[in-house]
Amino acid sequence: MNDFKTLFLTLVIVAPSLLVATIEIPFGKENALKNKAFTGAKSDRQATVRLWRDKRNLNVALWAEHPSMENREAHATEHDEPVHRDDCLEVFIDAAGRKKAYYQVVANVNGAIFDLRKDDLGRVYRNWDSGAIAKGRYGKEDYEISISIPLSSLNLGENPSHEIGLAVGSYVRHNLDACSAWGEYHKPASWQRFILPGEYPVVLKSFRNSGGSGTQPFEVTLQNISDQPIELTGLFNGQPIERIKLAIGETVASKFSATHPADEPTANILILNDDEHEVLRVTRIFTPVQLLQAMPASPLRYTHDSLRIHGRVNEPPDAPLEILVHTDSGKTIAYSSIPEQVFAITLPPQPAKQIECRYKSEIVSFDVETIRSPWEE
């Protein structure tokens, strides 16, 4: 195995375009594969990448020369900001092994991460989050970035052959200098093939995460692809979940709920284990928006005026909008309907002191003042 590894690394360094061999990604940092054969750079700057795995993560570490340190750029500090516009490390992973769909994970020296998934048809899904962790630093004439990507976030159950494609990029923003190792940017057919071992008996078929605030659903659809029944344990946002049992070949939709305030960055994280081995991780990092916005057409109305309310539901509506009209006498009149995403509702004239609008777990209320018209007797 050591002789083969030496031969492989020699091929990587001498003739990356001729690579056809497949090698197993080694276990342990001390056994990391090292590649200095970056191509495509606008200058003669040097770069080196190291690749290894551990029990939970796929690890990539980059060292790269920077041609103009006075023009270094590392502006992004938060998740899914435009990290790819900074000096950065880019990792491309064809986890399904089909040379079409892939994951892209980008990190800068601040540890900020931008990630996405592209399917077989080239459609981009920015709602996929890797759950990766990164760190980095600038040196005197170089920069270093390392990233750890949870193996369980790559839906590796889709790929029983365990053969993946992978390429790594180094980017310097100042002179738009992009170079890559083990293949070309965004071209999975060109990427080096690796074996990534592991047992992943379950596949993520789909997931749904509401972007709204308040208490909202989080739903995953799972399929058992193993040759025996499985029983999954795990955590949702740090709390134990009920066991998920799947027969051979069975597909099950599991629902959870989470409560988050509006406009505060947060995450929903589902971790599933089979016999204490993490087999699937679904992460959604987002900033919840207020689902319901509503207001009266006017806070003042005459006695015989209709009640007019307009607003917006910040998602495709899939639940009733309830309107409660509270009167001076303490009586409450209720109305309910499935609204349009942008709505304008007119209710019959009636005495009203306060109006309460409810959509799912969100409530918007406002006072209404009734005034007498000078033409009323």
69-81 pLDDT tens trace: 999 999 999 999 9
Q: With bands split at pLDDT 50, 70 and 90, how would you rate the model's confidence at 135?
A: very high
Instruction: Give the separation between CA 212 and CA 278, rounded to whole angstroms.
Output: 28
Instruction: Give the separation between CA 247 and CA 230, rounded to whole angstroms.
Output: 7
* Residue pointed to by tokens 């955590």: 235
CATH of domain 202-286: 2.60.40.10
H helix and E strand count, the chain: 1, 30
pLDDT given for residue 17 in this prediction: 42
Q: Between the CA atoms of 237, 243, 244 and 247, what dihedral angle is there, to the nearest 10 degrees?
A: 160
Quote the CATH superfamily of domain 292-371: Macroglobulin (MG2) domain (2.60.40.1930)
Q: Are 128 and 49 in contact (CB under 8 A)?
A: no
pLDDT given for residue 5 in this prediction: 43
Q: Domain residues of the chain, as ranges? A: 2-195, 202-286, 292-371
CATH entry 2.60.40.1190 includes domain 2-195: yes
Strand partners, 46: none
Mean pLDDT, rounded, for 246-251: 97
Global pTM value: 0.82
- Tokens at residue 245, please? 């049992």
* Residue pointed to by tokens 């209320």: 365
pLDDT given for residue 376 in this prediction: 57
Q: With bands split at pLDDT 50, 70 and 90, how would you rate the model's confidence at 6?
A: very low
Give the amino acid at 268. Answer: N
Q: Is the pLDDT of residue 215 over 80?
A: yes
Task: Check residue 39 and report its DSSP letter.
Answer: B
- Is there a common fold for 2-195 and 292-371? yes
Q: With bands split at pLDDT 50, 70 and 90, how would you rate the model's confidence at 315?
A: confident
Strand partners, 246: 230
Of 359, 354, 355, 324, nearest to 339 (Cα)?
Answer: 359
